[in-house]
Structure 1
């Protein structure tokens, strides 16, 4: 398959980027490039001099290649929030040599939009969570409440104290229905011993995710925090990949799919959510974040 970015060997101007696109079969206007820079899909060009006589800005080799990669991905990921996952994935995988962290701050805001996702997407995510929490003795009313509350929190990008109480009560009603667990006082834990799924774990993750979404939306995530979040992400992934086969072997039923092997495409599609989780961990439980050096 032709990879036009492989032919890029030097930095280029805006005019070069438009020419690259045409050579690759894409008709692009200059304003599209400017918009992608503003949204964090591309980094700003390096400027030389000031005033009228200054030379045009120059995009780094890696950015010129990224531009062509984005154009090729745009057909399958036409919406800018989804397209923002491309620079996020490259940065998480290969670092600032390819995508600078200042660009990632903008890309994260683009991926989240204004902090609000389409309600139907959030409802589908809520149904996925329900599949992990569900107990056969839970009521349909409790199940519907979990999906509704999860969607509300995800849609708004924040979780109020009242929402937290309501969501925890709803999750408990589904995961540990009183008709089964009320008298015993037992706490239900599903999955392997190394990574048990409990209501407490679910709420800790939701608290972290909502805090991270709010911080990104309000532009409170600094470059230093992003670098630390990347370290957390990479260390967590390295550890998970090492133990994943054992986790999958120890888990049965519907929980087993949580530890199934994933494709590279899935990793890219999940990288925004995973980075958000790392940011949330640093914001709400920094002592739990990995501290080992890469």
Structure 2
């Protein structure tokens, strides 16, 4: 079966892009291309000459193909933040030849720019943390409070104040180390297999990093260099985790086994923005990552 984006061959002008779209059954105006360039869905064209009478800029073959891919996915992913995950994933796994870093930065900002995207990512992280840490002795009230505080801290962004950190720690311990079970023993609860233990202190560190990453993007202080480092860290971590995952999964039972389940391709695609946020947070707060 022919894939429409494979029809484009060689560099092309804006007019060529519009003609590509119409030939593939997507009537589209030039302003859409300009809008997508501004949001990082597409890269800017390469200029040819300067001054009056210069020839129209050229879009690379990869960008022409990306344009047709975006158009083919727009019906099922109509919102621009969702479409932005396409160039972001291509940059992560196929490199700058297909999607340059300057475009990836804009695409990531577009994904984050819709408040629903990072907020959903923060809420999902809160739910994941609850599933990893939940203790049978915890109350539903404590669980709901933990999710609310986690999501608020991560989404509001910024460095945790001492008061906010204490509030979050209390909420986490009420779920992970409920007083009815742990007050008399003074033990520390750790879950997960050896080498990947989950603790309250580790959770606080990860949440603090996520909050700082959200703030960095929201205040438009994220640079190409830092995003590039986050991409390198993300790819390295994925390779390292892929080697460890089967062993970790074999050592894990119950609800925690979901933590080490192999992701589908769709899950990998949809998690790219959230995973990059976590990598950024790790870079900002972890001496090991730095």
- Asked if these proteins are the same fold (TM beyond 0.5), I'd say yes
Q: Deviations over 1:239-291 (max 9, x none)?
A: 10111111111100000011111111111111111111111111111x3228x
Superposed displacement of residue 130, structure 1: 2.1
Task: Indicate the residue corresponding to 2:174 in structure 1.
Answer: 173
**SS where residue 288 of structure 1 aligns?**
coil
Q: Deviations over 1:2-54 (max 9, x none)?
A: 21222222011111111111111112111111111111111111112333412
How far apart are residue 118 of structure 1 and its match?
A: 8.1
Q: How many corresponding residue pairs?
A: 289
C-alpha displacement at 1:149, in angstroms? 1.1
SS at match of 1:88: helix
Report what 1:218 is aligned to: 219
Give RMSD over aligned pairs: 1.9
Give the SS at the match of 1:165: helix
Structure-2 separation of matches of 1:150 and 1:159: 14
Q: Distance in 1 between matches of 2:69 and 2:19?
A: 15
Unaligned runs of 5+ residues in structure 1 are none
TM-score under structure 2 length normalisation: 0.93
1:184-210 CA-to-partner distances (Å, cap 9, x unmatched) read 121111111121111112111111111
Partners of 1:164 and 1:58 lie apart in 2 by 51
Tell me how far 1:121 sits from its aligned partner.
7.3
SS of 2:146's equivalent in the other structure is helix
Distance 2:118 2:63 in 1: 30
Paired position in structure 2 for 1:227: 228
- 2:243 corresponds in structure 1 to 242
Equivalent residue number for residue 253 of structure 1? 254
TM-score normalised to structure 1 length: 0.92
* Whole-angstrom distance in 1 between the partners of 2:240 and 2:79: 33
Structure 2 partner of 1:34: 34
Give ranges in structure 2 of 5+ residues lacking alignment. none
Question: C-alpha distance in 1, partners of 2:270/2:119?
Answer: 19
Q: Are positions 1:146 and 2:152 aligned together?
A: no
Deviations along 1:215-261, whole A, 9 cap, x unmatched? 11222222221222111111110010111111111100000011111
**Cα distance in 2 between the residues matched to 1:178 and 1:27:** 63
The equivalences for 1:170-209 within 5 A come to: 170-209=171-210
Provide the secondary structure at the position in 2 that maps to 1:12. Answer: coil
Please state whether the residue corresponding to 1:53 is helix, strand or coil.
coil
Q: Comparing 218-227 with 199-208, which one deviates more in the overlay? A: 218-227
Q: Give the conservation status (yes or no) of the 8 Å contact 1:117–1:155.
A: no
Contact preservation (8 Å) 2:122, 2:155: yes
Which residue number in structure 1 is paired with residue 44 of structure 2? 44
Is the 2:40–2:84 contact (alpha carbons within 8 Å) kept by the matching residues of 1?
yes
Q: 1:229 to 1:121 in 2, by over 3 A?
A: closer
Q: Which moved more, 1:150-159 or 1:96-105?
A: 150-159
Find the residue that maps to 1:247 and give its secondary structure.
helix
CA deviation after TM superposition for structure 1 residue 128, in Å: 3.8
Structure-2 change in CA distance of 1:105 and 1:9 (3 Å) = same
Inter-CA distance 256–201: structure 2 relative to 1 (3 Å threshold):
same
